[in-house]
Structure 1
Amino acid sequence: MYVLCTVIAALVCFLILKWMKRRRYCTDVKRLDGKTVLITGGNTGIGKETAVNLAMRGARVIIACRDVDKARKAVREIKARSHNVDVLYMELDLANMKCIREFCTSFLKKEKRLDILINNAGMPSVLDWTDDDFSMCFGVNHLGHFLLTNLLLGRLKECGSSRVITLTCDNYKYQKLDFQDLNYNLFPFFTYCRSKLANIYFTQELARITEGKGVTAYAVHPGYVQSNWTCHFSILFRIVMQVIMFMFFVSCEMGAQTVVHCAVSDSVTANNGGYFIDCQPAKLRPFAKDAGVAKKLWEASERLVRLA
C-alpha cells in the first residue's frame, strides 16, 4: 500500500510539473525563402533552436558568436537538422564595441539583405566587466545589441517589412533604471533585471523611431529555459540548478517558439514594440511602458556607445 501511494504521489507530481511547463507552439507555417536572418548567440540554447526552425523554413541563417569552434559545430548541426546548407557563422563579441563595429562593417560588405535580426545572446547575473568597462550584463544584453542594431538599421530598412526581435525576461519587473548609475554592478541579479528592462525600453523606442520605415520590433520573454547559462557559475551551483531546471524549466526548443512566432507571424505587426510571452502579446508593468524613459535610455545609450 505504501509503495502504491508513493507511485501515485510521484505520478501526480510529475503531471503537475508537466502542466506547469506547458507552452504554446508556433503554428504559423510561413516560409522564409529568400530572407536573411541574423541571430546573436545562435550557437547554443534558444538561439540554436531558433536557427534550426528558421533554416527549415528556407531562410539564409547567420549565427553571430564569440566562440568560433562552438559556432562551427553549431552550423554543422543546424544544417543537418534543417536540411538547409545556407547556414553560416560570423565572429562577434558583444562585450567589445570595436568588435561590434568591425562585425557590422564586414556584414554590410558581404550581405545584401537583412530581414530578421534576433538579439538573442545574453549574459546571466555575473559580476564582471566588458572590454569597454561596462557591467557585463548591461554592456552585452543592452548596449552591445543597441549598437549592433543601430549599425545594421539601414540594411533592415532597405529590405522592408524587416523585424528586430530582442529577448528579455519577466524579471524586468524587479528593478527600475537609475540614470545616475546605468552601469550599476553591485548586485549581479539586480544588474541582470535592469538589463532586461532596458531591452524592453529599447524595443519600444526602436518601434517608435522606425514606424512607417519598414521595420518593426518585438521584445520576447521565452520562459525559463533549460539552457547552458549556468556555465558561468560554480560546479555546485550548476548541479543544483540542473535539478531545478529539469523540474520546472522548459526545453530550448519550446523556449524558441515565441521568438519564431514573432519572426514569422503576420499577426504580430499589430503589436509593434510589444512584449510577447507564449506566442501572444503580454501586459507590462506600468513603469515599463514609460515612453519618456525609453527615449531617455536611447539617448543615454547613444552617448555611451559613442553613436554619432
Structure 2
Amino acid sequence: MYLLCTIGASLICFLLLKWMKRRRLCMDIKRLDGKTVLITGGNSGVGKETAVALAMRGARVIIGCRDPERAEKAVQEIKMRSHNLNVLHMHLDLSNLRSIRDFCHKFLEKEQRLDILVNNAGMPSVLDWTDDSFSMCFGVNHLGHFLLTNLLLGLLKESTPSRVITLTCSVYKFQKLDFQDLNYNLFPFFTYCRSKLANIYFTQELARMMEGKGVTAYSVHPGYVQSNWTCHYSILFRMLMQVVMFMFFVPCEVGAQTVIHCAVADEVTQHSGGYFSDCRHIALQSISKDPGVAKKLWEASERLVGLA
C-alpha cells in the first residue's frame, strides 16, 4: 500500500511539473531567405536556439559575442544543425561602449541590410560594473542594447519592414525606475528587475518613434529557461539551481519559441511596442505603461551612452 501511494504521488508530481512547464510553439513556417538577422549573445542559450531556427528558414545569421572561441564553436553548431552555411560571428562586448561602436562601424561597412535585430544577450543579478562604470545588469541589459539599436537604426529603416526584439523578464513588475539613481547596484536582484523594466520601456518608446516608418519593436519574456546564466555564481549555487531548473524551467529551444514567433509572424505587427510571452501578446502591469517614463528613460539613456 505504501509503495502504491509513493508511486501515485510521484506520478502526480511528475504530471504537475509537466503541466507547469507546458509552452506554445511557434507554428508559423515563413521563410527568411534574403533576410539578415543579428542576434546578440547568439552563442548559447535562447540566443543560439533562435539562431538555429532562423538559419533553418534561410536567413543570413550574425551572432555578436565577446568570446571568439565560444562564438566560432557556436557558429559551427548552428551551421550543422540548420544546414545553412550563411552564419558568422562578430566580436561584440556589450559591457563596453567603445566595443559596441566598433562593432556597429564594422557591421555597417560589411552588411547591406538588417531585417531582424534580436537583443538577446543579458547579465543575471550580479554585483559588478561595466568598463564604463555602469552596473553590469543595467549597463549590458539596457544601455548596451540601447546604443547598439540606435547605431543600427538607420540600416533597420533602410531594410523595412524590419523588427527589433528585446528579451526581458516577468520580474519587471517587482521594481520601479529611479531616475535619481538609474545605475542602482545595491541589491543585484533589484538591479536586474529594473534593467528588465527598462527593456520594456525602451521597446515602447522605440515603437512610438518608429511608428509609420516600417520598423516594429517587441519585448519578449522567454519563460524561465535552462540556460547557463548560473556560470556567474558559486559552484554550490549552480548545483542547487541545476535541480531547480530541471524541475521547473523549460529547455532553451522551448524558450526561443516566442522570440521566433515575434521574428516571423505577421500577426505581431499590430502590437508593435507590445510584450509577448508564450507566443502571445500579454497585457503589461500598470508599472510599465507610462509613456512619460518611457520618453524620460530614452532621453536619460542617450545622455549616459553619449548620443545626446
| Fold conserved between structures, TM > 0.5 | yes
Aligned to 2:67: 67
Q: 1:4: Cα distance to partner?
A: 2.0
> In structure 1, how many angstroms separate the alpha carbons of the residues matched to 2:193 and 2:287?
14
Residues 199-245 of structure 1 show CA distances to partners (whole Å, capped at 9, x for unaligned) of: 00000000000111110000000000000000000000000000000
Aligned to 2:101: 101
> In structure 2, how many angstroms separate the alpha carbons of the residues matched to 1:288 and 1:54?
30
> In structure 2, how many angstroms separate the alpha carbons of the residues matched to 1:138 and 1:289?
20
Aligned pairs for 1:1-308 (under 5 A) are 1-308=1-308
> In structure 2, how many angstroms separate the alpha carbons of the residues matched to 1:17 and 1:26?
22
> In structure 2, how many angstroms separate the alpha carbons of the residues matched to 1:198 and 1:71?
27
> In structure 2, how many angstroms separate the alpha carbons of the residues matched to 1:128 and 1:79?
34
> In structure 1, how many angstroms separate the alpha carbons of the residues matched to 2:231 and 2:96?
21
What's the RMSD between the two structures over aligned residues?
0.5
The residue identity in structure 2 corresponding to 1:285 is Q
**Stretch moving more, 2-11 or 203-212:** 2-11
> In structure 2, how many angstroms separate the alpha carbons of the residues matched to 1:249 and 1:203?
26
The residue identity in structure 1 corresponding to 2:307 is L
The residue identity in structure 2 corresponding to 1:215 is V
Residues 235-257 of structure 1 show CA distances to partners (whole Å, capped at 9, x for unaligned) of: 00000000000000001000000
Q: 1:287: Cα distance to partner?
A: 2.0
> In structure 2, how many angstroms separate the alpha carbons of the residues matched to 1:287 and 1:239?
34
> In structure 1, how many angstroms separate the alpha carbons of the residues matched to 2:229 and 2:287?
28
Q: 1:119: Cα distance to partner?
A: 0.1
> In structure 1, how many angstroms separate the alpha carbons of the residues matched to 2:68 and 2:4?
52
> In structure 2, how many angstroms separate the alpha carbons of the residues matched to 1:289 and 1:114?
29
Q: Secondary structure at the match of 2:94?
A: coil
The residue identity in structure 2 corresponding to 1:233 is Y
Q: Which runs of 5+ in 1 are unaligned?
A: none
Residues 20-49 of structure 1 show CA distances to partners (whole Å, capped at 9, x for unaligned) of: 000000000000000000000000000000
> In structure 2, how many angstroms separate the alpha carbons of the residues matched to 1:285 and 1:225?
22
Q: Which runs of 5+ in 2 are unaligned?
A: none
Q: Secondary structure at the match of 1:42?
A: coil
The residue identity in structure 2 corresponding to 1:37 is V
> In structure 2, how many angstroms separate the alpha carbons of the residues matched to 1:70 and 1:7?
43
> In structure 1, how many angstroms separate the alpha carbons of the residues matched to 2:67 and 2:175?
31
The residue identity in structure 2 corresponding to 1:185 is N
The residue identity in structure 1 corresponding to 2:206 is L
Q: Secondary structure at the match of 1:64?
A: strand
Q: Secondary structure at the match of 1:54?
A: helix
Q: Secondary structure at the match of 1:103?
A: helix
Q: 1:8: Cα distance to partner?
A: 1.6
Sequence identity percentage: 78
Q: Secondary structure at the match of 1:263?
A: helix
> In structure 2, how many angstroms separate the alpha carbons of the residues matched to 1:138 and 1:62?
24
Q: Structure 2 length as normaliser, TM-score?
A: 0.99
The residue identity in structure 2 corresponding to 1:262 is C
Residues 142-170 of structure 1 show CA distances to partners (whole Å, capped at 9, x for unaligned) of: 00000000000000000111000000000
Q: How many residues align?
A: 308
Residues 39-91 of structure 1 show CA distances to partners (whole Å, capped at 9, x for unaligned) of: 00000000000000000000000000011111000000000000000000001
> In structure 1, how many angstroms separate the alpha carbons of the residues matched to 2:284 and 2:64?
30
Moved over 3 A (4+): none
> In structure 1, how many angstroms separate the alpha carbons of the residues matched to 2:23 and 2:79?
26
